[in-house]
A and B are shown apart, each in its own frame.
Chain A
Amino acid sequence: MRDVAIIGIGQAPVGEHWGIGIREMALEAALEALRDANVEHIDALYVGNMVSGEVTGQEHLGALLADALALNPVEAMKVEAACASGAAAVRVGAMAVASGMVDLALVVGVEKMTETLGGDTTSALAMAADAEYEVSQGVSFVALNALLMQRYMYEYGWQRRDFANFVINAHKNALTNPMAMFHQRVDADRYATCATISDPVGLLDASPVCDGAAAVILAPVQYARTLSPAPIRIRASAAATAPIAVHDRKDPLALQAARDSVAKAYRQAGITPGDIDFFELHDAFTIMSALSLEASGFAERGQGVRLALDGDITLEGRIPVTTMGGLKARGHPVGATGIYQIVEAVLQLRGLAGPNQVAGARLGMTQNIGGSGATIITHILEAME
């Protein structure tokens, strides 16, 4: 197997882009990544996306984008793993390059979520859950996270207000990320008084419905240096699954798939949590930030919220998270999210994160969660000497 590096990145601004279609949006990110890597030819195209069929009425995104990018007859396919589709596509690309069957892979994540009315998008996202035994009961995706948050607060004695700093930190970091959807501060008061979606989850606990696209170019490390002035090595790429329905998990608050994927990732990289300089976690909901920090070895069970309360998650903190705004404030264009996380990690490791730079960042981790925790994919990236 060959080691794999990221030699190019691209991203489109996240937002509500009624004037741009899925093809144009993906094109913007992909062309920027190709420019950044300074390559014109690729061997394979992998597209991360979840709901294009349901929301846009368009499937077959591999062929769609290969055509749009004038890359025919390149091989191309869509990779789907709910909200983890982006990281899943990167992992497929990394496996292809590592195997030697592909030299240069373009991986694009794209999602258009604003094509329909809110209820339809909510229903499309709920397809990440168990259709017969969760969704049929009127449980939205938000409600599944609310069920977890309610139990977490009960077991560990936290109040909703204790989660506020996850949101405040994400919005603060997004202020200086031009690609982010939101450029406004949130304070504890605004967090406390926002509307309730599914009790105890309020509007500001949840990441927004939005459009976005991001892309990376992967190459073998052995050629990466000749192609790119600042290649970033993929030190670990690890995926794991847990039962699709929350009710079928032995310990719903354990986020077991995160524990399993992170354990594999640390083993692959030969490191421990203390070596990680920053963590792009999957803050689709505030409860997921807490559970992810615990499952990834940064806090004991029930104490993930403590890291937010103590300021450990800020850019200057012990374990900075959502350094460019995270899902909450950069936005969560579902199938693109995992690739935004990786693009942002590359910016940090290149030292090009501007006002959001984590000082001396050498090792970064990204974690993309599909559904309510059924698929979890962790990547560890490293700046090459």
Chain B
Amino acid sequence: MTNKIAQDWRLKGQRYRLEGEECPHCKVKIFPPRDICPECKQPAKEPYRLSGRGEVYTFSTVHTPPAGFEDYVPYTVALVKLEEGPMITAQLTDVAPEDVSIGMPVEMVTRRMRTQGDEGTIIYGYKFRPLLHSVSN
């Protein structure tokens, strides 16, 4: 996978803080930001930061990865339904693949996504881990 430094820098608000948007017309929460409300099709540029809590909608453990992720197999990817409504694609972390189930409560954490050799950048981003009980109380 090629180095896309500008892209990684540009997406820092989304990758580190789950910065999305709220539609000023119908109040739908939007992530990733797309500036047009997917519900009412009106302009929607109000910044809105998502809580990072949600539940697993579906998941898969990857054994044959795309280029750039060879060092991390097996890893588990999921669609996480965020409590504000949007769905997000992300890796799960701090959990064994056999312990993952649909409906499992999870929360966002910041983790290293991948490295690009000794000279390349180290990419950080969001992953989701099982919700800690201390946080849920």
Is the CB–CB distance between A119 and B89 below 8 Å? no
Report the minimum CB–CB distance from B62 to chain A (whole Å). Answer: 5
Cα of A188 to Cα of B111 in the assembled complex, Å: 41
Is the CB–CB distance between B67 and A119 below 8 Å? yes
User: Is B60 in the interface zone, CB < 8 Å from A?
Assistant: yes
Query: Most chain-B Cβ atoms within 10 A of its Cβ — which of A143, A148, A196?
Result: A143
Interface size on B, residues (CB 8 A): 36
Is the CB–CB distance between B11 and A143 below 8 Å? no
Interface size on A, residues (CB 8 A): 37
- Known A-B contacts A119-B70, A138-B113, A247-B89; the reply to A198 vs B63 at CB < 8 A is yes
Tell which of A150, A198, A247 touches B64, judged by Cβ atoms closer than 8 Å. Answer: A198
Report the minimum CB–CB distance from B86 to chain A (whole Å). Answer: 8
* Overall SS of chain A's interface: helix
Residues of A with C-beta under 8 A to B113: 136-138
- Known A-B contacts A147-B77, A151-B57, A248-B38; the reply to A138 vs B63 at CB < 8 A is no
Report the minimum CB–CB distance from B97 to chain A (whole Å). Answer: 7
User: Is A201 in the interface zone, CB < 8 Å from B?
Assistant: yes
Is the CB–CB distance between A247 and B87 below 8 Å? yes
Cα of A138 to Cα of B88 in the assembled complex, Å: 13
Q: Give the nearest-CB partner of A118 in chain B.
A: B64
User: Is A245 in the interface zone, CB < 8 Å from B?
Assistant: yes
Q: Which residues of chain A (245-298) have a CB below 8 Å from chain B?
A: 245-248, 252
Contact flags (1/0) for A104-137 with B, using CB distance below 8 Å? 0000000000000011101100100001111111
Q: Give the nearest-CB partner of B103 in chain A.
A: A154
Is the CB–CB distance between A148 and B64 below 8 Å? no
Is the CB–CB distance between B102 and A151 below 8 Å? yes
Is the CB–CB distance between A122 and B79 below 8 Å? no
Is the CB–CB distance between B67 and A123 below 8 Å? yes
Report the minimum CB–CB distance from A310 to chain B (whole Å). Answer: 26
Q: Give the nearest-CB partner of A200 in chain B.
A: B60
- Known A-B contacts A119-B70, A138-B75, A139-B77; the reply to A246 vs B89 at CB < 8 A is yes
Report the minimum CB–CB distance from A152 to chain B (whole Å). Answer: 9
Report the minimum CB–CB distance from B17 to chain A (whole Å). Answer: 15
User: Is B65 in the interface zone, CB < 8 Å from A?
Assistant: yes
Residues of B with C-beta under 8 A to A143: 60, 62, 77
Tell which of A118, A133, A137 touches B77, judged by Cβ atoms closer than 8 Å. Answer: A137
Q: Which residues of chain B (60-106) have a CB below 8 Å from chain A?
A: 60-70, 72, 75, 77-79, 86-91, 97, 102
User: Is A308 in the interface zone, CB < 8 Å from B?
Assistant: no
- Known A-B contacts A132-B7, A246-B89; the reply to A138 vs B114 at CB < 8 A is yes
Residues of B with C-beta under 8 A to A195: 63
User: Is A199 in the interface zone, CB < 8 Å from B?
Assistant: yes
Cα of A168 to Cα of B2 in the assembled complex, Å: 39
Is the CB–CB distance between A198 and B66 below 8 Å? no
Is the CB–CB distance between A147 and B66 below 8 Å? no
Q: Give the nearest-CB partner of B75 in chain A.
A: A138
User: Is A146 in the interface zone, CB < 8 Å from B?
Assistant: yes
User: Is A85 in the interface zone, CB < 8 Å from B?
Assistant: no
- Which 3 residue pairs of A and B lie closest in terms of their CB atoms, listed nearest first? A146-B60, A151-B58, A247-B87
13 A-B pairs with C-beta separation under 8 A: A119-B65, A119-B67, A119-B70, A122-B66, A123-B1, A132-B7, A136-B113, A138-B69, A138-B114, A139-B89, A143-B60, A150-B102, A199-B60
**A-B contact sample (15 more), CB < 8 A, given A133-B32, A133-B89, A198-B63:** A126-B66, A132-B11, A134-B89, A136-B113, A138-B62, A138-B75, A139-B62, A143-B60, A147-B77, A154-B58, A154-B102, A195-B63, A200-B60, A247-B79, A252-B79
